[in-house]
Structure 1
Amino acid sequence: MLAFLVFASAVPLFWPDIAPLVDLPGHIGRYRVQLDLAGSPALQQYYAVEWRPLGNLGVDLLVQLLAPVLGLEPAIKLIVLLIPPLTAAGLLWVAFEVHGRIPPTALFALPFAYNFPFLFGFVNFALAMALALNAFALWLRLARLDRPRLRAAIFLPISVILFFAHAFAWGALGVLCFSAELVRQYDSGRHFVVSGLRAALHCLALTPPVALMLAWRSESGGHTGDWFNVEAKIEWVVQALRDRWEIFDLVSLGLVGAIIFAAMVTPRITFSRNLAASALFLSVVFICLPRIVFGSAYADMRLAPYLFAIALIAIRFPIGVNLRFAATIGLIGLSFFLVRTGATTLSMYLYDQRYDRELAALEHVPRGAAMVSFAGRPCTEPWAMSRLLHLPAMAIARREAFSNDQWILAGAQLLTVHYPPGYPFLRDASQVVSRVRCRGEHWRTIDRALATFPRDGFDYVWLIDPPPHDPNLLKGLQPLWRSGTSVLYRVADPAPIPEQIEP
């Protein structure tokens, strides 16, 4: 049964050749550069890569290992496909180590493998959190077996590996392990303060990456800010299961919330103090963490789904609880898991169909072309947010072409862009356009983008689901391919548009 649950967690990603996660195509473009830059004059004219130790390299390193054997896109498919089952396995293992069996409420936690941060495309973080959950289960197991020295020896390298996978997940593991060890020490009869000191001592095995963190961030800098944004934090919690159908996703989250609340008020159901402490500590971190950490946005948002998952597997059904009642909860949980998995599978299929239609444009792009892309989005993103904003990077992966959607953050990326003729349309978010100027956002309107991009610096223009725009701004652009509102143009006349467009 457990093997079925873990395997079924991968089903939604079986069909798509490219997992339709918002940021993933952008990462795939970067992976192509990292793999082939040395032998590709086409890529060399646009990009450079400098390998250095960063706390954000989980999938990057696996791609370097697997892509030469499997090919880039099959390697990405395999890696991303494994993240949900690894997450599910980690949650089930943690639950077993704490309870000695799998509580029926754990079934409600498994759909959180397809959480909003994962669907946003934070694949390094999602992979690292899947590894962190399994590492946490191992930490609990070795504690249960009373093997502290072996645990310390094992977790010295684990902490370093996890840091390089993603630093935020390494931090989350530290919080989980400290809270669990604190409860274990306290339950052994020690004073709370002494328990905290001993827990900190045990967690020293997780601290070697601190030096790496300080060295990494002393070089990169990066802005840290937007503290205690209560409105945003509430949104992240509400959006923990956000995918395509708002009412369905909100009802699903409401059901999960109701189960957690019912467990809190029902006398015959309790919580594991171990995992309850972990959920509490993670909640405090979530509340205190700013939205932007060292230039990386959505730092706090990434933790929100795991608060629900940990709380669900923390629920304990004592031996004396009516077996029929527990079985009923398990049956409802299994139904919840299967319905969510089926809906996610359908959602992925539909997004994949859209990817296939849009990517047909690349058949008309010559290898090594300089292409600027503009992907439309509204000022207020709908619940089923666009998965097309980084699709332009597939031109790097498949055609070794230039794409203006790559992230350039000091110390956070291995890739840099050097293509002066394309300035300022060189990096994310120059590929994002809207119909009107969006308050508080820095991207351009579609009209301004079409009027001001350097036509002598680009050979092709790819409009991906663009908003309505002035057709006069398309003068000098020859359409080569069209699907719905998306169009691929060749720049036939490099002369700039004379009209003045209001900013």
Structure 2
Amino acid sequence: MTEPETSPRSTFWETRAFAIAMIALAAVPLLLTPIPPLTDLMGHMGRYRVQLDIGSSPYLSHYYKFDWALIGNLGVDLVIELLGPILGLEPAVHLVVMAIPCIMVAGLLLLAREIHGRVPATAIFALPLAYGYPFQFGFVNFAFAMGLMLIAFAFWLRMARTGRLKWRPYIFFVVSFLLWVAHSFAWGTLGLLCFIAEVVRNRKAGKPWFESGWRSVVACLPLAPPALLLLPWRGGSSPKGTFDWFAWYFKWIWLRSVLRERVEVWDKLSALLLYLVALSGLVWKPWRRYEATLGIGAALLILVFICLPRVLLSSAYADMRLVPYMLAILILALRPIVDRRIAIGVAVAATLFFAGRIAISTLAFQKFERNYNTQLQAIAHIPMGARVMALTNTPCRSAWYSSRMEHLSSMATVRRQAFVNDQWVAPGAQLLRIDYPPAGRYYSHDPSQIVRRPDCRARNEPILEIALEYFPRDAYDYVWMIDMPRNRWPVDSDFAPVWVGNRFGILYKIRHHHQLSQAGSATASKDTPNGNGQRVTQ
């Protein structure tokens, strides 16, 4: 690590104005999309509606349970708890999600400057990773916490560089707890990077390896206390599903998909460019081309990626989430280019590349938004508190392009406080629980709403014709077929169309032929939100 350069020869990408411009540019794709088109986000929004309104809603408590608990996955949930009542749920989500890529860009630039004393021209190539696949997938708690982690790590380094070590244990004792609550993965990553930074600092001070090691352990002890929170979290209702170790096929997919968005050729070529930049330091004297703290840190993160399973504690895509960050840190590890003219050329190319990624993302998000609005017209025909069986036409998982409608049906929960069969069942990984027995074991939760071609569906995803025949009709008031082509719409005397899309999507009202009884397979009349009166959809 070196002192920040304040020379008048500082170039355009090293200025504060450039950093602010890059942070602002990162928000552009989301500016005009009131519902950020991130795959899982609408499902999270449904959960936010429950957490905000279950105490006052006459409907939600009939379908869901929500009990606050201390778990390592609450970053955006807590921010929405604060902003939702002030701004409204949808504007609050829009604001927070739009801030996430800005936070990551800020963290990358701060970290690059702190490590090198200036922002290397090559560091700008890391900025598009703010829209990496984990963020595009809608892992907002994770992406939010990892962005904060980068900023926290830069602050850790700065306090060491400026000699403020006296106060660092107290500050990071608090920071470590906050980061763990936001997402435990980010807390673990921060601990790993801080330990490496301390070892490198002690070695540069001339201390032997053994002394450097134990001094580094002592320095990082203020980061350790959140590990105690893992004990109760790993208790009775904790997430326990962990499998798919060393799934090389998927790991190869995650590496290719680091910038996966909509246009396959553009996304893959962009990823290839970033890998070439990141590995360019290996061409000649790599021990001189990579800064030790971030170089070793990136190497260890790559090792963690290799060793992580695909599903960790019931959280899918555990290894995939790490890819943009290990790549970004490897790019940031590249030392500044000595030749000023070459550095200027690289900085211009990297800035244009980032601007190009932002431009294509903006166009892609606008397309997703238009498709959402077409399907969301159905919500105007769904009464408050209704029970909606969603069936969403979804491309094969092998397809690069995704419609990102897997959880669009949760907007019925957001706007109509409806029960929809698309929430996750992951005890300990989130706080919402489904409490609606009439929906049955298979048709009450994700992925019962996801309909793919039979030859490319996951084992636990439904086949459309079987789902339409066997789902518990008395437990639902509506069938919402999202983005479903007309040739797959059912002809059924129990289904009465109430909204029809131009070519894709239809909403049916279910005709019930008998009064529901408490002993039957559906909710008793007296158990509906309107008490002993008719169900809200009648």
Question: With structure 1 as the length reference, what TM-score do the two structures score?
Answer: 0.95
What is the CA deviation profile of residues 20-54 of structure 1, one whole-angstrom value per residue up to 9, with x for unaligned ones? Answer: 00000000001001001111111111111111111
**Is residue 2:292 matched to residue 1:273?**
yes
Give the equivalent residue in structure 2 for 1:36: 53
SS in 1 for 2:401: coil
Q: Which one is further off, 429-438 or 62-71?
A: 429-438
Give the equivalent residue in structure 2 for 1:151: 168
- Deviation of 1:211 after TM superposition, in Å, equals 0.6
- Which residue of 192, 197, 211 maps to 1:175? 192
**Is residue 2:328 matched to residue 1:309?**
yes
Q: Distance in 1 between matches of 2:285 and 2:35?
A: 47
**Is residue 2:350 matched to residue 1:336?**
no
1:448 to 1:468, Cα distance in 2 relative to 1, 3 A = farther
The answer to whether the Cα contact below 8 Å between 1:433 and 1:446 also exists between their aligned partners in 2 is yes
Identity of aligned residues (%): 45
Give the equivalent residue in structure 2 for 1:201: 218
Q: Distance in 2 between matches of 1:179 and 1:122?
A: 27
SS in 1 for 2:389: strand
SS in 1 for 2:235: helix
Q: Which one is further off, 178-187 or 88-97?
A: 178-187
Amino acid at match of 2:270: S
- Which residue of 441, 452, 456 maps to 1:434? 452
The answer to whether the Cα contact below 8 Å between 1:179 and 1:281 also exists between their aligned partners in 2 is no
- Deviation of 1:226 after TM superposition, in Å, equals 1.4
Matches within 5 A, 1:415-434: 415-424=432-441, 425-434=443-452
Give the equivalent residue in structure 2 for 1:370: 387
- Deviation of 1:280 after TM superposition, in Å, equals 1.0
SS in 2 for 1:105: helix
The answer to whether the Cα contact below 8 Å between 1:476 and 1:492 also exists between their aligned partners in 2 is yes
What is the CA deviation profile of residues 31-80 of structure 1, one whole-angstrom value per residue up to 9, with x for unaligned ones? Answer: 00100111111111111111111110001000010011100000001100
Q: Distance in 2 between matches of 1:231 and 1:146?
A: 47
What is the CA deviation profile of residues 375-419 of structure 1, one whole-angstrom value per residue up to 9, with x for unaligned ones? Answer: 122444411123100111110100011111001111112111111
Give the equivalent residue in structure 1 for 2:90: 73
- Which residue of 22, 46, 51 maps to 2:63? 46
Q: Distance in 1 between matches of 2:412 and 2:255?
A: 35
- Deviation of 1:237 after TM superposition, in Å, equals 1.2
Q: Distance in 2 between matches of 1:486 and 1:227?
A: 39
**Is residue 2:35 matched to residue 1:18?**
yes
Amino acid at match of 1:104: A
SS in 2 for 1:374: strand
**Is residue 2:260 matched to residue 1:242?**
yes
1:198 to 1:450, Cα distance in 2 relative to 1, 3 A = same
Question: With structure 2 as the length reference, what TM-score do the two structures score?
Answer: 0.89
The answer to whether the Cα contact below 8 Å between 2:125 and 2:331 also exists between their aligned partners in 1 is yes
In the comparison of the two structures, how many residue pairs are matched?
493
- Deviation of 1:180 after TM superposition, in Å, equals 1.4
Point out where structure 2 has 5 or more consecutive residues left out of the alignment: 1-17, 515-538
Q: Which one is further off, 398-407 or 250-259?
A: 250-259
**Is residue 2:243 matched to residue 1:225?**
yes
**Is residue 2:179 matched to residue 1:162?**
yes
The answer to whether the Cα contact below 8 Å between 2:24 and 2:102 also exists between their aligned partners in 1 is yes
**Is residue 2:398 matched to residue 1:398?**
no
- Deviation of 1:263 after TM superposition, in Å, equals 2.6
The answer to whether the Cα contact below 8 Å between 2:122 and 2:336 also exists between their aligned partners in 1 is no
- Deviation of 1:271 after TM superposition, in Å, equals 1.3
Q: Distance in 1 between matches of 2:487 and 2:341?
A: 62
The answer to whether the Cα contact below 8 Å between 2:485 and 2:505 also exists between their aligned partners in 1 is no
What is the CA deviation profile of residues 176-203 of structure 1, one whole-angstrom value per residue up to 9, with x for unaligned ones? Answer: 1111111111111122232222212111
Amino acid at match of 1:428: D
1:103 to 1:405, Cα distance in 2 relative to 1, 3 A = same
Point out where structure 1 has 5 or more consecutive residues left out of the alignment: 496-503
Give the equivalent residue in structure 1 for 2:463: 445
What is the CA deviation profile of residues 310-343 of structure 1, one whole-angstrom value per residue up to 9, with x for unaligned ones? Answer: 111111125xx22101111111111111101111
Amino acid at match of 1:133: L
Q: Distance in 2 between matches of 1:474 and 1:431?
A: 19
The answer to whether the Cα contact below 8 Å between 1:228 and 1:288 also exists between their aligned partners in 2 is yes
Amino acid at match of 1:253: A
The answer to whether the Cα contact below 8 Å between 1:435 and 1:467 also exists between their aligned partners in 2 is no
Amino acid at match of 1:430: S
1:313 to 1:304, Cα distance in 2 relative to 1, 3 A = same
The answer to whether the Cα contact below 8 Å between 2:436 and 2:444 also exists between their aligned partners in 1 is yes
